[in-house]
Amino acid sequence: TFDEMSLSKRITFDQVNQQIIGPHNHVQVAFIRGLTGKWKQPVYYDYDRPMTTEILSDIIVSVEKAGYKVVSVTCDLGGENRSVWNSLGISPNKSTFPNPHDQTRDIYVFGDAPHLLKLARNHFLSKGFVDSKGTVMTPQCLKEILNLQHSDLKVAFKLKNEHIYVTNKQNVKLAAQLMSNCTSKAVKFLGEKGLLLDSTWNSTADMIALFNDWFDIFNSQTACKNIPEKCGYGIHIEKQLNILDKMSYFIQNILVCGKKSLLPFQKGILITNKSLKEMFA
């Protein structure tokens, strides 16, 4: 996993090496972590330097030489990271690249699921989605629910202004709460009772439920849970594969309203789904 983090841009004096450090805008950090073990270790950092295919290759080779097998790489969909993907030939049709240490093994590429969920939420709230049949999904029904919440009828306790009128787009919790089963069921309940004027409530509820199930698969932290989607991948493989396939089909057949082609977050979801299925095939 690699990620770029913002810094405070302050100057620091390193007393050990007697040198001034900074100011810097960002730090690029790479971690390795176990697929099944609860451990992670930083293996690389540098200031104000974007990730490149050369740096990534050097990191992978060093980790392999230390005795570890690198099987996947995860990052968010920032512009510089997408450039790395493009350089490696990564696309919705090809989600792997040869291991630079051992060309007989492939490395699977994943988008960061929380980042993908936030991007999907942002585009849904700002523009809405439309599928190939002309079915529209918009946040209008959610805004209606907010108005209903001010009355005695409360069916979506977690839904608040900050979920729809987003000021902190980096908050994963708000995105996960919005794109949740709780929200989907609230929309369904009110829509079926005839309390929503927006005609897109049913398609919007189905879309939100699908994102909830998809995110559960990629956010699993333990082998077994009461909810099948939250179990480790492979525990309920048929159900999990069905969700991945439904999401891939959905993403391939929608556009953000006003757009003519798939956006990076859509390609990221397709690539991530393909990698998970193929890595554990």
Which of 269, 209, 280, 281 lies closest to 244 in space, CA to CA?
269
User: What span, in angstroms and rounded, lies between the C-alpha atoms of 231 and 221?
Assistant: 8
List, edge to edge, every strand of the sheet that includes 136-137.
Answer: 136-137, 129-131, 254-256
Per-residue pLDDT, averaged over 267-277, amounts to: 98
**Residue 43: CB atoms within 10 Å:** 16
- Indicate the average pLDDT of the chain: 93
Confidence of residue 147 (pLDDT cuts 50, 70, 90): confident
Q: What is the pLDDT of residue 153?
A: 64
Closest to 117 measured CA to CA, from 174, 75, 164: 174
**At residue 156, does pLDDT exceed 80?**
no
- Whether the pLDDT of residue 90 is over 90: the answer is yes
Confidence label for 189 from pLDDT (cuts 50, 70 and 90):
very high
What pLDDT does residue 117 have? 98
Dihedral, 167, 169, 173, 178 alpha carbons, nearest 10? 80
Which pLDDT score is estimated for 150?
72
The residue to which tokens 């977690």 are assigned:
158
- CA dist., res. 61 & res. 69, Å (int): 10
